[in-house]
């Protein structure tokens, strides 16, 4: 049984949290990824827990970003976000970065720098019961399968957050990558891509087969989170979520399924 969550990325960084959670719960979701909202907007973890519980939701994952080269300051910043994830009961922390200069591939030193930063965060998270998972992403240091291999060769605690749209955007096969990285797969992002922009599930133009993707994960069975992460949309956040919710439920997937959560601290 796959466990589903919905990302808060499509709302702005300072939404009305109660209203946002009410919308997410209205469409049948029971878990969320806290994405773009900064800690000074979220407030104490007990406040977020109360808001989530009021709407029958749990925090599945939090998300952050790092830059290359790494610095002590950004490590400390990410430590605090991982601490917050642990306190609110999220068992996974997704992370993306660093930037990529389009005229050239990253250098060996840039790959190594990113790997050191990510492995440090992954070890820190593991000590607190939080899985840290890196998100390969177009326009960042790690885009392609060969670059994922380079990163994984230099890390051991770090896991992956594979986003099927970004896999498709670099001309690679999401199902093949899911199989290849099964042992290092922390969680998965779902969204589609069509006509030059991210779009809702089933509205894309690059041939993503979401049924095949989900069936592949279901047959293992995959124990991590499946997060619908609609980072951009021409629709309102709720209208976009409605399209994604109907797409999944019309195909027999229960978006209200969640994992057994660890104890909230």
Domain spans of the chain? 3-250
C-alpha radius of gyration, the chain, whole number: 17
Which residues are CB-neighbours of 103 under 8 A, at least 6 positions away?
none
Confidence at residue 232, expressed as pLDDT on a 0 to 100 scale: 82
Confidence at residue 45, expressed as pLDDT on a 0 to 100 scale: 97
Confidence at residue 259, expressed as pLDDT on a 0 to 100 scale: 83
Confidence at residue 265, expressed as pLDDT on a 0 to 100 scale: 56
Distances (CA, A) of 51 to 55, 152, 212: 7, 37, 35
**From CA 16, how far away is CA 263, in angstroms rounded?**
26
Q: Are 126 and 157 in contact (CB under 8 A)?
A: yes
Strand residue runs (E) in 19-169: 31-34, 58-66, 92-97, 131-134, 159-163
Q: What is the pTM of this model?
A: 0.95
Confidence at residue 102, expressed as pLDDT on a 0 to 100 scale: 66
**From CA 256, how far away is CA 29, in angstroms rounded?**
5
Decide: helix, strand or coil at residue 264.
Answer: coil
Q: Are 118 and 158 in contact (CB under 8 A)?
A: yes
Confidence at residue 262, expressed as pLDDT on a 0 to 100 scale: 60
Cross-strand pairs, 32? 6, 59
CATH of domain 3-250: 3.20.20.150
The one-digit pLDDT tens for each residue of the chain (265 residues) are 999 999 999 998 999 999 999 999 999 999 999 998 999 999 999 999 999 999 999 999 999 999 999 999 999 999 999 999 999 999 999 999 887 766 788 999 999 999 999 999 999 999 999 999 999 999 999 999 999 999 999 999 999 999 999 999 999 999 999 999 999 999 999 999 998 899 999 999 999 999 999 999 999 999 999 999 998 888 999 999 999 999 999 999 999 999 876 655 5
Confidence at residue 49, expressed as pLDDT on a 0 to 100 scale: 97
Q: Are 229 and 198 in contact (CB under 8 A)?
A: no
């Amino acid at each position: 049984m796959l466990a589903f969550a919905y990302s808060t990325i499509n709302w702005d960084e300072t939404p009305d949290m109660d209203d946002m959670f009410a919308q997410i719960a209205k469409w049948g979701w029971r878990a969320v990824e806290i994405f773009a909202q900064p800690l000074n907007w979220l407030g104490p973890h007990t406040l977020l827990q109360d808001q989530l519980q009021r709407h029958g939701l749990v925090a599945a994952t939090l998300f952050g970003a790092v830059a290359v080269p790494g610095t002590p300051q950004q490590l400390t910043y990410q430590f605090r976000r991982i601490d917050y994830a642990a306190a609110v009961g999220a068992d996974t922390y997704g992370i993306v970065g660093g930037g990529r200069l389009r005229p050239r591939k990253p250098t060996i030193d840039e790959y190594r720098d990113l790997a050191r930063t990510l492995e440090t965060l992954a070890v820190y998270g593991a000590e607190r019961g939080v899985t840290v998972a890196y998100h390969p992403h177009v326009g960042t240091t790690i885009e392609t399968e060969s670059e994922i291999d380079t990163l994984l060769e230099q890390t051991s605690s770090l896991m992956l957050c594979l986003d099927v749209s970004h896999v498709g955007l670099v001309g690679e096969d999401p199902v093949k990558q899911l199989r290849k990285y099964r042992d290092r797969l922390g969680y998965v992002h779902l969204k589609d891509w069509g006509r030059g922009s991210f779009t809702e599930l089933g509205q894309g133009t690059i041939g993503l087969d979401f049924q095949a993707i989900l069936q592949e994960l279901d047959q293992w069975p995959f124990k991590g989170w499946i997060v619908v992460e609609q980072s951009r949309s021409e629709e309102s956040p709720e209208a976009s979520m409605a399209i994604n919710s109907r797409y999944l439920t019309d195909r027999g997937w229960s978006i209200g399924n969640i994992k057994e959560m660890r104890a909230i601290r």
